[in-house]
Chains A and B, each alone.
Chain A
Amino acid sequence: ETGVTQTPRHLVMGMTNKKSLKCEQHLGHNAMYWYKQSAKKPLELMFVYNFKEQTENNSVPSRFSPECPNSSHLFLHLHTLQPEDSALYLCASSQDRRSNQPQHFGDGTRLSIL
């Protein structure tokens, strides 16, 4: 049990579809993150939320749209994705973005774009 739960675990979608990834953390943290993990590349930070406010958008294309309704939940809305967007999308949380505390990760959503 990681304390960070992501759903779905696997997702296959066409380029014209709209879908959403969900992340929920049960650790009482105030910061949440979206990362993209592609084969043979380091984890890439996409978005950061701190106390429900977006504090970082790391040059992510607008076809990815994050939403953070409260400190425990984080969504990633997807629309008109490209084949190169196929990857493992990881959610993480930490106490807050200013403290040097470890981030705790979920097991990710494996996304495949047809």
Chain B
Amino acid sequence: GESVGLHLPTLSVQEGDNSIINCAYSNSASDYFIWYKQESGKGPQFIIDIRSNMDKRQGQRVTVLLNKTVKHLSLQIAATQPGDSAVYFCAENMGGGGADGLTFGKGTHLIIQP
């Protein structure tokens, strides 16, 4: 079946380095994608989103890249800080101007090494 997934369950990076978290999706009709960050004991927190008519979108220290040809989504975090340690989820909203909720991947646990 169609699903949203993440390539790596755990990613360990040095503090100050850039982090790249990847996500593959299989539903070609998906037209909206979101990245969430979930810290221990908290709910998912919105980071950045991108619509399918865009290839790239930048926020504060974060960049999302969308490659529709290979159905790939990535989140880049610049100058990683200890506070970036969390589980990161990508989610897709299937086409049609909205869906009944989002389809989430399993998440990647980002670990920041001092």
Contact = CB atoms under 8 A, between A and B. Distances in A.
Interface of A: 2, 4, 6, 33, 35, 40-43, 45, 48, 55-56, 58, 90, 92, 96-100, 102-108
Given A45-B102, A56-B101, A100 B43 contact: no
Contacts of B49: 100, 102
Contacts of A58: 100-101
Chain A contact residues: helix, strand, loop or mixed: loop
Nearest to B36: A105
Interface residues of B, number: 27
Given A42-B105, A42-B106, A107-B42, A100 B97 contact: yes
Contacts of B101: 33, 35, 45, 48, 56, 58, 97, 103
Given A2-B43, A90-B44, A99 B104 contact: no
Interface of B: 4, 31-32, 34, 36, 41-46, 49, 51, 89, 91, 93, 97-107
Contact of A98 (B44, B46, B97, B107): B97
Contacts of B102: 43, 45, 103
